[in-house]
Amino acid sequence: MSDKPLLAITEQIDNERTCVNHLLFPAGGESQWHKHDRDYVIVPMQDCQLDIDTGEGAKTVPMKAGECYFRYAGVEHNVMNNTDQDIVLIEVEIK
């Protein structure tokens, strides 16, 4: 178990077609290892960078505010905010 601050997830919408979550990555925080059971889209709310480890070592991923990216279900990873700023993302899971 990590002593880093953890990702905070706030559910905003959950209906028969989608689940929308507000994700707050605190500075120095991480998501911990997890696997997505649904296809999903991530929308960064500000320009930022996160380190994403899929088991092959962490890779820094730059993100632009409002530029979405899509991932298929089954992705297993740990996402880390190794910066000194809190980062906000919106996650849209497709049911």
Per-domain residue ranges of the chain? 8-94
Using the structure block, give the residue that is written with the tokens 């120095």.
28
Residue 2 pLDDT class (50, 70, 90 cuts): low
Condensed to tens digits (0 to 9), the pLDDT of residues 74-89 reads 989 999 999 999 999 9
**Is the model's pLDDT at 1 over the cut of 60?**
no
8-94 is classed in which CATH architecture?
Answer: Sandwich (2.60)
How high is the pLDDT of residue 75?
87
Please give the DSSP secondary-structure letter assigned to residue 7.
P
Question: Average pLDDT for residues 10-36, to the nearest whole number?
Answer: 97
Contacts of 67 (CB under 8 A, 6+ apart): 43, 44
The answer to whether the pTM exceeds 0.75 is yes
